[in-house]
Amino acid sequence: MVMLVPPAVPVLQGEPVALRCVVWGGVKLEKAIFYKDKSEITSSPEGTYTITNATLSDNGKYSCHATYRFIQIGAETEQKEGDSDAQELKVIGGPPAAVISASTNSLQCSCPHCPDDCTSYHWYHTLFNDSYARKKLSENDQSITAEEEGQYRCRRECGKGFSRFSNIYSYTGTHTHSG
């Protein structure tokens, strides 16, 4: 009846992760209590526990305890409770991710958790209507000006490898008409 839904794939360090406590079969969830390695961590009326910045210390077995009622036409039934099976959350270390911040068409690439030996910036552009046509831009600066519509991503080159790709920034273009 009660199930904890973990992410389908291991979570990369530094990324957000949401664990959901789900009760099957037309019920109204009233409260979910979340446990990590059998210790209570939080309760949520919505049934979701979110870790905004996953670290290796978030690895463990998570479960939830749900309080719920079946919904029938015209009446609510008595309150019921149930426990989920424990589910493993796996957080894996990896290179830090770059981040794009933007104002209008000026894009900045940063990588707050990158090591100091990161040197250059790599920018990539994808057309909205052709997600396979990703091309590397020639710009190698921390900031670029978006001129073409599409999706922009960046990453930093660090010693022996790269940071993870940044979030996608969608630029739809701004049209100005001169008289």
As a whole number, mean pLDDT of residues 23-42 equals 93
Question: Pairing between strand 39-44 and 27-36?
Answer: antiparallel
pLDDT at 49: 96
- Contacts with 130 (C-beta within 8 Å, 6 or more apart), sequence order: none
Question: What φ, ψ does residue 57 adopt, rounded to 5°?
Answer: -75, -10
Rg over alpha carbons for the chain, rounded to the nearest Å, is 22
Question: Quick check: 1 and 64 in contact, CB under 8 A?
Answer: no
pLDDT at 34: 97
Residue 58 structure tokens: 């978030």
As a whole number, mean pLDDT of residues 115-120 equals 86
- Contacts with 121 (C-beta within 8 Å, 6 or more apart), sequence order: 109, 139, 140, 141, 142, 154, 155, 156, 157
Residue 105 structure tokens: 């068409």
Question: Quick check: 100 and 167 in contact, CB under 8 A?
Answer: yes
Question: Cα dihedral sign for 86, 87, 90, 91?
Answer: negative
Residue 100 structure tokens: 């794009």
As a whole number, mean pLDDT of residues 57-86 equals 89
Q: Which residue intervals of the chain bear CATH 2.60.40.10?
A: 2-92, 99-171
Architecture of the structural domain at 2-92:
Sandwich (2.60)
The mean pLDDT value of the chain amounts to 88
Q: Domain 99-171 adopts which CATH fold?
A: Immunoglobulin-like (2.60.40)
- How many of the other CB atoms lie within 10 Å of CB of 76? 11
pLDDT tens track for 93-110: 878 888 999 988 899 999
pTM of this prediction? 0.61
pLDDT reading at 85 higher than 60: yes
Residue 50: closest CA among 23, 15, 78: 15
Question: What φ, ψ does residue 94 adopt, rounded to 5°?
Answer: -170, 180
pLDDT tens track for 119-159: 899 999 998 888 777 899 988 899 999 988 999 999 999 88
